[in-house]
Amino acid sequence: MAGHSKWATTKHKKAVIDAKRGKLFAKLVKNVEVAARLGGGDPAGNPTLYDAIQKAKKSSVPNDNIDRAVKRGSGAEGGGAAYETLMYEAMAPGGVPILIECLTDNRNRSASDVRVAVTRNGGTMADVGSVSRIFQRKGVVVVPKEQEGRAVSEDDLLEATLDAGPEDVADNGETFEVISDPNDVVEVRKAVQAASLDYDSAEVQFVPDYDQEVDADIFQKTMRIIDALEDLDDVQSVFSNVAPNEEAQAALAEED
């Protein structure tokens, strides 16, 4: 998922990616369209559009779909919608916080769909600010550890991006995340490219201040809510700080 819980982004994402490919394509195309509307249709002069296009391409979105989205967003082609970004906050069982980012042309539909997805799966909607206060907006550049036979280390990334002002490099299992101030994400991405390193995505996300370790039952209940939310057309990203404790990790490993 496009979120910041390392336990909810690796194998879990791979297990559902095929079933959700159509929805994923639609969300990535929507991101491209909105980026073109906000900053113009030239990726060279619109870094947000550049990164949205790259993310779509890395997820195998057809070039024709991307090109049409750029044209709709920039006004070169009709049919574009007036999207707005909405944030919702929720709590999973055990008090696990969930932050939900929507990109929608119908806020009433989004609010209703999000509420149903949360409450039907055992969660509750939260007051504004009660969840978002533990998240900070950060630039996040995701870099795979294995690249064309080359193993990338944390030191490699720190050296490559030092002048771009990274705040941290987080180990996410199969990838590293270079965390920065939101205003520095483009410079960090350019530094990664200048070092001849590939990257999976470069965007501004909501990063939690801390991980909340839970048992296997709470972790699985939280993931059911996240799955239901990610299945909604209007939901672009879901962020949580959920992490299985040691016993839960062992239990989850036995299920594989």
84 and 69 share one domain: yes
pLDDT beyond 50 at 11: no
The percent of residues above 70 in pLDDT, for the chain, comes to 90
Give the Cα separation of 167 and 41 in Å (integer): 31
- Do 127 and 200 belong together in one domain? no
C-alpha 152/C-alpha 161 separation (Å) is 13
Give per-residue pLDDT as tens, 209-249: 988 999 989 999 999 999 999 999 999 999 999 988 888 88
User: With bands split at pLDDT 50, 70 and 90, how would you rate the model's confidence at 1?
Assistant: very low
Q: Same domain, yes or no, for 126 and 235?
A: yes
For the segment 44-49, the average pLDDT, to the nearest whole number, is 93
> Is there a single domain that holds both residue 56 and residue 155?
no
Question: What tokens appear for 153 in the block?
Answer: 């280390």
The candidate with the shortest Cα–Cα distance to 237, out of 81, 7, 9, 80, is 9
- pLDDT by residue (tens digit) across 107-154? 999 999 999 999 999 999 999 999 999 999 999 999 999 988 789 999
My answer on whether 120 and 148 are in the same domain is no
Domain that holds residue 202: 135-208
Contact assessment for residue 173 and residue 181, using Cβ atoms and an 8 Å cutoff: no
Asked whether residue 19 carries a pLDDT value surpassing 90, the answer given is no
User: Which burial class, exposed, middle or buried, applies to 35 when counting CB atoms under 10 A from its CB (0-12, 13-18, 19+)?
Assistant: buried
Please state, for a pLDDT cut of 90, what percent of the chain lies above it.
Answer: 66
Is the domain of 144 the same as that of 40?
no
pLDDT of residue 249: 82
The CATH number for 23's domain is 3.30.70.980
pLDDT of residue 218: 93
DSSP string, 183-225: GGHHHHHHHHHHTT---SEEEEEEEESS-EEE-HHHHHHHHHH
Beta carbons of 208 and 178 less than 8 angstroms apart: no
Q: What is the pTM of this model?
A: 0.85
What pLDDT does 147 receive?
A: 87
